[in-house]
Structure 1
């Protein structure tokens, strides 16, 4: 079957602040610090949202969930992902796959990557094999290397029958 395809990419970053965990890929990851953010600060899910929205040519996450809107204060970013998934479905698109990379020295992502994949797949309504979560460091360079914050990037492929 012939498919129309669109690809989008996303990037997000948040500074570390007070707290005892970070949310990554919909999973609570214990850490000595939290993230400074309007919502729960889940950089993985925010990058995925921007990737989906980019593929749909619908702007970015801030357009759909502005930080100036009190409704999104401390919001669960899984809700944002489900909203973006629904926007794609309503336009006739389906998520083909998502590939996300966390950029941080700490916390270590490996022990939590499978749970992140499972949460993301569930929220997107796709098979687990369609979701990749991995991590890298910046070899102690830059703001992530100095432990000042965490970043993530993602790509998403959307498809629909031609």
Structure 2
């Protein structure tokens, strides 16, 4: 068996009166992440971790932010397309571990739904999807609620 580990990172600007989608959950907040797709930083970081582990470049290579096909698209679709790319190369996902960094809103109550959304989208057991959240202790652009950051690592395997 061959195993590989991947790392992903994503950051999006927060804007007033914009939807805030995280892990496929729309969060109630006065600001939301802004981007070409639905700007789901969690799923973007996971996509990059998976693509990187399989040496398939990055999310921007496969889903360009200049391509109108991806404008406003749900990042769950991008995640599903990413998993298809891995499957075509013979890879399966062992686990995903992700960390969100933002001041508000509180993420903890939404983690089970995020895990369930990801699990259903990519057919990976919930117990293999870890999502955690922290603040930036009110420092920097995250502390000023100007942006949100996500990190993810994954393990993939090939028999």
TM-score of the superposed pair, with normalisation by structure 2: 0.97
CA distance, structure 2, for counterparts of residue 99 and residue 131 of structure 1 = 6
Residues 97-134 of structure 1, C-alpha deviation per residue, up to 9 Å, x if partnerless?
Answer: 00111100011100100000111111121111000111
1:84 alignment partner, SS class = helix
Report the equivalent of 1:105. 103
Match of 2:35 among 34, 37, 58: 37
Which sections of structure 2, spanning at least 5 residues, go unmatched? Answer: none
Cross-structure match for 2:79? 81
List runs of 5+ in structure 1 lacking aligned partners: none
Give me the CA root mean square deviation.
1.0
> Post-superposition shift, 1:26?
1.1
Superposed counterparts of 1:15-94, under 5 Å? 15-19=13-17, 21-94=19-92
Shift of 1:152: 0.3
Contact 2:99 2:152 in 1 (8 A): yes
2:121 maps to 1:123: yes
Match of 1:5 among 3, 6, 28: 3
Aligned residues: 159
Partners in 2 of 1:158 and 1:37 — Cα distance?
Answer: 28
